[in-house]
Amino acid sequence: ATILVLHGPNLNMLGLREPGIYGAATLETINQQLTKLCLDAGHHIQTLQSNAEYELIDRIHDARKEGVDFILFNPAAFTHTSVALRDALLSVNIPFIEVHLSNVHKRETFRHHSYFSDIAQGVICGFGPDSYRLAMQAAFTLLNN
């Protein structure tokens, strides 16, 4: 299967950005680990990080045309703001898991609401870079069923 990993705004700053909250790993390292996991499991992977809402929306639309089977999505700050990204996911009808490095529920109140959780297959948050690995493993299980 083909799995698309989407990273929202400011995640290009991982490693430098508030390491006490987000950890020391860079996005490149995280993507490399996910790529290895996918290839070892016999799946294809594509990754995109963007700071622009419209680029993420366009990527989601293209995913449908390309036949992407599953999406792992860390919408970052757009989690708490973006009806447009929610609507994009609903429009393509591709199953996805919402991922966060931090446990958003023990942070500021404005991070407690997500525009994605109620339409996601599941949500994984709070395990740092390991959140992505756990989400990827859950995706494999869902894809094999």
Q: Which residues bind ligand DQA (CB under 6 A)?
A: 10, 74, 76-77, 79, 100-102, 104, 111
Shorter beta-carbon distance to ligand DQA: residue 59 or 100: 100
Task: Confirm if 143 and 1 have CB atoms less than 8 A apart.
Answer: yes
Catalytic residue status for 80: no
Q: How far is the CB of 102 from ligand DQA (least distance, A)?
A: 3
Expressed in angstroms, the distance from the first to the final Cα of the chain is 12
Shorter beta-carbon distance to ligand DQA: residue 2 or 10: 10
The residues, ordered by sequence, that sit 6+ positions from 71 with a Cβ below 8 Å of its Cβ are 3, 4, 5, 6, 60, 63, 89, 94, 95, 96, 97
Q: How far is the CB of 77 from ligand DQA (least distance, A)?
A: 4
Q: How far is the CB of 74 from ligand DQA (least distance, A)?
A: 5
Q: How far is the CB of 47 from ligand DQA (least distance, A)?
A: 15
In angstroms, the CA 84 to CA 103 distance is: 24
Catalytic residue status for 100: yes
88: amino acid identity, one letter: A
Shorter beta-carbon distance to ligand DQA: residue 41 or 126: 126
In angstroms, the CA 74 to CA 107 distance is: 16
What's the half-sphere exposure (Cβ side, CA atoms, 13 Å) at 128?
A: 12
Enumerate the active-site residues: 22, 100
